Amino acid sequence: MNRVVTFGETRDLVRKAIREAELPVGLEVWILRDLIGRVSVLLPEPAAEPPEPIRRLVERLHSTLGAHAYPPERAILYLEPEDREELRSEAVIWEEEGVTIYFLDREISGRRWVTIAESELAGPPRFVLFALKGGLGRSTTAAVLAAHLARKGQRVLVLDFDLESPTLSSMLSPEEHPDFGLVEWLVEDLIDQAEVLVPDMIGRPAWSMDFTGEVMVVPAYGRRCREHLAQLGRAYLDKPPREVGGSPEKWVDRVRRLVRSLEAHASPDLVVMDSRSGLHDIAAALIVGLQAQVLLFAVDSEPTWSGYRILFQHWAQNQAIRQVRERLFLAAALVPPTAQKEYLRRFRQHAWDLFREWLYDEVPPGEPDGEWFSFDLMEEDAPHTPLPIYWERGLLAWPDLRSLESGPVQSAYSEFLQRFERQLLPEAGL
C-alpha cells in the first residue's frame, strides 16, 4: 500500500478485490464491515483450513484495503447458518463476475435509514414533515396543515417527534397538555407498561373546538414528565429481548407500534408527524418505517442539495431507493418576498437535476414514459416540483390557527395548501 485508503472507498475496493481474487462462479461470499470500518469474511462453519478461494480473497482484501481490512489470519469469522439466514434481509446483495456478494454493515444508527419495513403498517394515511436543518418552518407548517384539514372535517392526529426541541407541542396551552407524551411511551415500553399511558397522551387545543373536524395533539412529553434528559437518553434504545436467547426489538419497529397504538386509540382520518431535523434515527424511523408520504423541506442552496444528495446516495447504495422514492415530495421553504418566480424556477431546476440523478428512472429511447418513474422538468405535479411556502414576517411568531383565510398564514400557505390537497391527498387515498 502506497497510499491511505479511506472508509468511503472500501465498498468499491471490496468489489475490486473480489474480481482480482478470481473466485469460482456460483460461490456465495459474505463480507462484514464492522463498527470501526474494517472488513472481514463470514463463513458458515469452522474448518481446519478455509477454502483456497477464501484464503486468496482475504489476502487480496488486505493488500487492497490496507487498514480497513483485518490481517489474513484474523479476517475470517464464523457464523451459524441460521444466524446468516436471519441477517440475509439486512445485506446489500450484488453479483461480481458470477459470484454472489452479501455485504453487511454494522452501524450504530445509519442502518435505520435503510431498514425498510417488511410489511405494510395498516392504518390511516400518514404524512411526515422532514428537513435537514431547523428554522425552515417545518413545525409551523405541520400546525397550519392540521388546522386546515380539521376545518374541512378531518380528524387529524398530530405527533411531535422532535423530541429534543419540541415546537409543535406549542399547539397546546399548558393546561391542555396531556399527562404523558412520546418520550414517556418509549421509555415505559422498555419495561412493557407503555400501553397504559395511551389514553392520557392526547391533548385537544381549545382553538380547534369549533372546527368541523378535530385536532388531536400528542406532545413530545407530557406535563407529568420528570427527569426529561434521563428519559431522553433511553428513548432511542432497541427493546431488550423478553427471554434469554431472544432478539431485541429494533427501534424502528418500536416506533411503528407506538404510532399504531395511538391511531387505534384516536381513530384519526390522517396523521401528521413532525420529524426531528437532520439525519437522525427519528427521521429514519418515520421516513422508511411507516410508508408515509414525506415532505422534504428545502431552500435553494448548495448545502441543502448536497445534504439530500448524501441521503439519496445512501439509499441507492443500500438498495432502498425504490422503496422510498415514490413517497417523497419537496416543499420550498422560506420563498423570498422578491423575485419569487425566478427563485422557484431555479429551485425546480436544481431539484430536477438531483431527482434525475438519484430517484428518477432513465427512460430508454422508444419506451413509453408512463411505465417509468420519471418526470419532465415542467411537470406540475412531479415530486421535484416544490410546494411553495412564502416567507412572511408575521409568521416569526406562532400563527393564529383560528383564522387561516387572511393575514400572514394566507399569504404564506394558500398555494401550499391547494397543492397539498390536489397532489398528496389523492396519493394517500383521501
Condensed to tens digits (0 to 9), the pLDDT of residues 244-297 reads: 777 888 888 899 999 999 999 999 999 999 998 887 778 888 888 888 999 999
pTM for this prediction: 0.82
Sheet of 387-390: strands edge to edge? 214-218, 155-160, 270-274, 126-131, 293-298, 328-335, 387-390
Q: Residue 18: left (phi > 0), alpha (psi -120 to 50), or beta?
A: alpha
Task: Give the pLDDT confidence score for residue 316 in this predicted structure.
Answer: 87
69: DSSP letter? B
**pLDDT value at 114 more than 60:** no
239: DSSP letter? B
pLDDT above 90: percentage of residues in the chain: 52
Residues 410, 416: Cα–Cα separation, whole Å: 10
DSSP calls for 125-145 = -EEEEEESSS-SSHHHHHHHH
Residues 102, 95: Cα–Cα separation, whole Å: 9
Scan for cell 457464523, then name that residue.
Answer: 79
b/e code 355-377 from CB counts within 10 Å (16+ = b): beebbbeeeeeeeeeeeeebbee
Mind listing the pLDDT tens digit for each residue in 199-235?
Answer: 999 999 999 999 999 999 999 999 887 787 888 888 8
Mind listing the pLDDT tens digit for each residue in 26-62?
Answer: 998 999 888 888 999 988 776 657 888 899 999 999 9
Mind listing the pLDDT tens digit for each residue in 54-73?
Answer: 999 999 999 999 999 999 98
- Where do the structural domains in the chain lie, given as residue ranges? 7-106, 113-427
Domain formed by 113-427, architecture: 3-Layer(aba) Sandwich (3.40)
From 160, 172, 178, 181, select the one nearest 205 (Cα to Cα). 172
**pLDDT value at 370 more than 80:** no
Please report which confidence band the pLDDT of residue 327 belongs to, taking 50, 70 and 90 as the band edges. very high
Q: Which amino acid is at 165?
A: S
C-alpha cell at 68: 480497513
Burial of residue 261 (number of CB atoms within 10 Å: 0-12, 13-18, 19+): middle
